[in-house]
């Protein structure tokens, strides 16, 4: 490994060293300086995010560690936003964690190692490295969900997440082993070469089954139908800060997995995996949106909303290749990337509001807990309104621009019926988002207790709301950012 190779992995190396240094510092001081360490962790994550995003304009596609690691614009963009999402989670969730005796060094360490797992997944150019990143992320999240050991619901949620997550990892590993058996390599470039040979000749049955298990494992990680069973229970049972850790930044890593495994490695077999993703997307849009309507639990409603949103994101992957024509690939995958980033942005704010509203001895769990929020905290209600309108795809919020970009990519390939189907279920989904707005603005408060939030939480939530409007009015810069990153990835 020469110096150039090591320099490409500076974000991961710095994060790993920082996480170890944090563990030592917290252990030696026995938690006495944890508030100061917390601030250092937040600043480090912000600095890491800014560093990654600043490197994008000057970065080409480079490989390291015997071609196992890839550094390109897409990786830097996703790593930058992942680090900023983690910083947001720690800022908004600090008081929430303190009230529930979760503000410990262990939580910060788990968050840092989860971020490291995500960054490894994003830059993995080898099946072995993909699996390493997946397991590092997953094990950190299992433990984060179970941080409240005396909380029966959190323990149950952690066990469900662990068992079903292990099943998903098994699917993923089984698919990878089949692809290795069919190609004789773990490297994405070698797999792509072998896939080309398989398409031109007679397809290997092992190869096809490998793709099936691979897509099933990815679907588990995304939480789309029919592999969505864990999502509502884990969202509802977990402490809100753990729920945000699951529903936020990891979605960016999941998008990267789809790009690296399916697009980079198996692009010539797009017809096979696009049909599988189509079934997942269609089922997720229907079941996610229809089931969310019946929910009274706010977290379960947001869980089914996530299922529907991830189904919508998959639509971008369906329009990359049509009848062997790849002209629309860059637009399709960049629209899916833009959708993933904006979805994470709105999710961060939504669960941020939930955590700020919760207090010691009281958890915001039901939609009815939001009654009269406009009278109790008008500013907080306005932020939530912007976020709900964005998730519903109502202009001029960024969610509208994200949905429109995916639909335009679908229409460009002539899939009119699928576009109409997606629009119809977006209208269905708008119902339960608007119901939350109605609850906040048109119902009398059930609780008059004052909502107390720290200044830094108030500031980042304000920035979040501002970003939702600003990116909705001016989506072009971020879209161009995503397009450049995807074009570079496809060109490599």
Residue 101 scores a pLDDT above 50: yes
Given a contact cutoff of 8 angstroms between Cβ atoms, the answer to whether 179 and 145 are in contact is no
Mind listing the pLDDT tens digit for each residue in 441-457?
998 887 777 787 888 88
The pTM assigned to this predicted structure is 0.93
State residue 306's pLDDT score. Answer: 93
Confidence band, pLDDT 50/70/90 cuts, at residue 324: low
The reported pLDDT for the residue numbered 203 is: 63
Whether the CA torsion 436, 441, 447, 452 is positive or negative: it is positive
Say if residue 480's pLDDT is above 70.
Answer: yes
Tokens of 210: 């490998």
pLDDT at residue 390, as a whole number: 94
Residue 160's nearest CA partner among 237, 265, 69 is: 237
pLDDT digits (tens, 9 = 90+) for 391-402: 999 989 999 999
Cβ atoms of 440 and 434 within 8 Å: the answer is no
Residue 176: what pLDDT?
92
pLDDT band at 116 (very low <50, low <70, confident <90, very high): very high
Report helix, strand or coil for 454: coil
Contact between 78 and 252 under an 8 Å Cβ cutoff? The reply is yes
Q: Report the half-sphere exposure of 40 (CA within 13 A, side-chain side).
A: 15
Residues 6+ away with beta carbon under 8 Å from 148: 100, 101, 102, 154, 155, 239
pLDDT of residue 40: 94
Q: Which one has a higher pLDDT value, 265 or 81?
A: 81
Does the structure show a pLDDT above 60 at 1? Answer: no
Mean residue pLDDT of the chain comes to 89
User: Using CA atoms, how far apart are residues 116 and 48, in angstroms rounded to an integer?
Assistant: 12
Q: For tokens 């697009």, name the residue.
A: 263
pLDDT value at 257 more than 70? yes
Question: Is the per-residue pLDDT at 380 higher than 50?
Answer: yes
Q: CA of 420: how far to CAs of 25, 408, 424, in Å?
A: 56, 12, 6
Mean pLDDT for the stretch of residues 292-314: 92
Give residue-wise pLDDT tens across range 147-190. 888 888 889 999 999 998 898 899 999 999 999 988 888 898 88
The residue ranking higher by pLDDT, 119 or 31, is 119
What is the mean predicted confidence (pLDDT) over 131-138? 93
Out of 110-119, 303-312, 334-343, 405-414, pick the least confident. 405-414
Distance between CA atoms of 474 and 492, rounded to whole angstroms?
29
pLDDT at position 435 over 90: yes
pLDDT at 278 over 50: yes
Q: In the chain, pLDDT over 70 holds for what percent of residues? A: 97
Average pLDDT of the residues in 319-341: 85
> Do residues 52 and 79 lie in contact, with contact meaning Cβ atoms separated by under 8 Å?
yes
Q: Report d(CA 316, CA 405) in Å as an integer.
A: 9
Q: Is the pLDDT of residue 307 over 60?
A: yes
Number of residues assigned to the chain: 492
**Helix (H), strand (E) at residue 71:** strand 69-71
Alpha carbons 260 and 74: distance in angstroms, whole number = 10
In this prediction, residues 368-372 reach a mean pLDDT of 88
Beta bridge partners of 69: 64, 124
Q: What percent of the chain has pLDDT over 90?
A: 53
pLDDT at 429 over 50: yes
Q: What are the pLDDT digits (tens) for 198-207?
A: 765 566 788 8
Confidence at residue 439, expressed as pLDDT on a 0 to 100 scale: 92
Distances (CA, A) of 490 to 54, 67, 74, 486: 21, 16, 10, 6
Mean pLDDT for the stretch of residues 390-419? 91
Residue 103 has pLDDT above 90, yes or no: no
Tokens, residue 134: 């997946």
Higher pLDDT, 57 or 286: 286
pLDDT of residue 3: 42
- Token code pair at residue 98: 């303190």
The rounded distance, in Å, linking the Cα atoms of 189 and 196 is: 11
**Dihedral, CA atoms, 369, 358, 454, 353, nearest 10 degrees?**
-50
Kindly list the distances between the CA atom of residue 423 and the CA atoms of 7, 248, 419, 420, in Å, as whole numbers in the listed order: 45, 24, 6, 5
Which pLDDT tens digit goes with each residue over 193-233? 888 777 655 667 888 888 899 999 999 988 898 888 889 99
Element (H, E) at 69: strand 69-71
* Helical segments of 146-229, H only: 152-183, 188-200, 205-222
Q: Looking at residue 202, what is its pLDDT?
A: 60
Cβ contact 64:187 at 8 Å? no
Amino acid 2: pLDDT: 45
Span 12-19, mean pLDDT?
94
């Amino acid at each position: 490994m020469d110096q150039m190779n090591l320099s490409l992995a500076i974000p991961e190396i710095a994060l790993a060293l920082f996480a170890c240094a944090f563990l030592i510092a917290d252990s030696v001081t026995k938690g006495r300086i944890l508030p100061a360490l917390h601030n250092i962790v937040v600043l480090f994550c912000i600095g890491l995010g800014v560093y990654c995003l600043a490197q994008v304009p000057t970065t080409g596609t480079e490989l390291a560690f015997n071609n196992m690691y890839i550094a390109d614009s897409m990786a830097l963009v996703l790593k930058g936003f992942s680090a900023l999402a983690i910083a947001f989670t720690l800022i908004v969730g600090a008081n929430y964690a303190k009230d529930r005796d979760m503000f410990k060094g262990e939580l910060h360490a788990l968050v840092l190692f989860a971020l490291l797992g995500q960054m490894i997944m994003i830059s993995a150019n080898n099946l072995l490295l993909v699996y390493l990143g997946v397991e590092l992320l997953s094990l950190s999240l299992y433990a984060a969900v179970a941080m409240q050991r005396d909380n029966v619901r959190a323990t149950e949620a952690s066990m469900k997440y662990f068992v079903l997550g292990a099943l998903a990892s098994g699917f993923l590993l089984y698919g990878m082993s089949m692809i290795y058996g069919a190609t004789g390599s773990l490297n994405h470039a070698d797999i792509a070469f072998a896939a080309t040979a398989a398409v031109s000749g007679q397809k290997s049955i092992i190869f096809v089954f490998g793709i099936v298990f691979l897509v099933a494992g990815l679907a588990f990680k995304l939480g789309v139908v029919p592999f969505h069973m864990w999502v509502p229970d884990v969202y509802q049972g977990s402490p809100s800060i753990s729920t945000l850790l699951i529903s936020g930044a990891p979605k960016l890593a999941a998008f990267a997995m789809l790009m690296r495994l399916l697009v980079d490695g198996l692009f010539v077999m797009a017809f096979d995996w696009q049909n599988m993703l189509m079934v997942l997307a269609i089922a997720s849009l229907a079941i996610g949106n229809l089931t969310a309507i019946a929910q009274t639990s706010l977290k379960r409603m947001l869980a089914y909303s996530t299922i529907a949103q991830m189904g919508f994101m998959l639509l971008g992957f369906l329009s990359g290749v049509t009848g062997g024509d790849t002209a629309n690939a860059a637009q399709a995958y960049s629209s899916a990337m833009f959708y993933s980033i904006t979805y994470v942005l709105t999710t961060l704010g939504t669960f941020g509001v939930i955590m700020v509203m919760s207090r010691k001895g009281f958890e915001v769990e039901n939609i009815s807990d939001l009654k009269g929020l406009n009278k109790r905290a008008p500013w907080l209600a306005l932020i939530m309104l912007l976020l709900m309108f964005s998730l519903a795809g109502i202009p001029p919020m960024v969610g509208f621009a994200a949905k429109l970009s995916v639909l335009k990519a679908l229409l460009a390939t002539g899939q009119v019926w699928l576009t109409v189907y997606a629009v119809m279920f977006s209208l269905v989904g708008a119902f339960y988002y608007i119901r939350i707005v109605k609850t906040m603005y048109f119902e009398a408060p059930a609780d008059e207790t004052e909502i107390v939030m720290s200044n830094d939480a108030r500031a980042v939530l304000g920035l979040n709301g501002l970003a939702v409007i600003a990116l909705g009015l001016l989506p072009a810069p971020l879209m161009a950012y995503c397009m450049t990153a995807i074009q570079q990835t496809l060109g490599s």
